[in-house]
Amino acid sequence: MYYNRETDEENYVNGHFTGLKWQCVEYARRWLITVKGATFEKVNNATDIWSLQKATLLDSTKVDFINAPITEIPPIGAFPKGHVAVVVKVHPNGEVDVAEQNYSNKWQGIRRVNVKKENVIGWKIIKTH
């Protein structure tokens, strides 16, 4: 299934802004709100997430939103830099499963990624403790 990447229709979940429908940033923010009870400020592109240093819990508490280099094994829930996706499983061979939308202009669902071959260079991680 293909989606219009040029939409300007905003999406919300439980009253919280998630982003522009069908965009990878919207999926990542919606996942954070739903699973981690956190969000991050509006950004123009997925690559802009890399510069964010704080995320916000739904109770308005600010928490660290750190950059971790690719040399570290990502935890489940990490966001790769660039096209943003959510790590949902880490494999011992260095591959990760990511949940995403709007990769190659279509809904992907879950995709296995070899982080060395895909040129993934880092992760975003929310530190709540």
pLDDT digits (tens, 9 = 90+) for 48-81: 888 999 999 999 999 999 988 776 667 666 665 5
Beta-sheet pairing, 16-20 with 38-39: unpaired
Give the count of beta carbons closer than 10 Å to the beta carbon of residue 64.
11
Phi-psi region of 34 (alpha: psi -120 to 50; beta: other; left: phi over 0): alpha
H/E segment holding residue 36: none
Q: What is the pLDDT of residue 41?
A: 93
Sign of CA pseudo-dihedral 47, 33, 53, 121: negative
Domain 10-127, classified CATH 3.90.1720.10, yes or no? yes
Domain boundaries, the chain: 10-127
Which of 22-26, 80-84, 118-122 bottoms out in mean pLDDT, i.e. has the lowest? Answer: 80-84
pLDDT digits (tens, 9 = 90+) for 10-54: 899 999 999 988 888 999 999 999 999 999 999 988 888 889 999
